[in-house]
């Protein structure tokens, strides 16, 4: 039986405008590993979104900064909405206007920062 590819531990690969979006089969394999993330269609662009809760603004901002560090390390950047008690993180790939495997990798890494 084929093993599901584990997202944690993987590195982002270069994403170009002609890189493939994730397939339905890949989504079926990856999404259970980042099950707290919602798959959302934002005006035709598929994105991953998760809301993380904190006890204040400073906690949310500290988490935002931790995400910033892995984003720089991997060369792939999210949108993060930081507010009192909450950080909402969106991952998607601008170049392909949708989801690349990189986004699932980064979602898993983001979860790893929170746990």
Q: Which residues bind a copy of itself (CB under 8 A)?
A: 57-58, 61, 64-65, 68, 71-72, 77-84, 94
Q: How far is CA 3 from the centre of its chain?
A: 22
Nearer to a copy of itself, 31 or 66 (CB): 66
Nearer to a copy of itself, 34 or 87 (CB): 87
Please tell me the total number of residues recorded for the chain in this structure.
Answer: 115
Shortest Å, Cβ 17 to a copy of itself: 16
Query: What are the two backbone dihedrals, phi and then psi, of residue 5, each rounded to the nearest 5 degrees?
Result: -70, 125
Extract the tokens encoding 77. 């950047």
Contact 106, 70 (CB under 8 A): yes
Shortest Å, Cβ 75 to a copy of itself: 10
Shortest Å, Cβ 82 to a copy of itself: 5
């Amino acid at each position: 039986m084929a093993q599901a590819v584990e997202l944690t531990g993987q590195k982002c690969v270069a994403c170009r405008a002609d890189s493939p979006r994730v397939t339905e089969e890949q989504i079926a394999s990856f999404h259970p590993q980042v099950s707290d993330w919602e798959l959302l269609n934002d005006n035709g662009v598929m994105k991953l979104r998760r809301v993380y809760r904190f006890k204040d603004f400073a906690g949310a901002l500290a988490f935002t900064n931790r995400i910033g560090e892995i984003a720089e390390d991997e060369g792939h950047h999210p949108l993060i909405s930081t507010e009192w008690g909450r950080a909402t993180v969106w991952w998607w790939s601008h170049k392909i206007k949708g989801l690349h495997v990189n986004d699932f990798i980064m979602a898993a890494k983001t979860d790893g920062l929170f746990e």
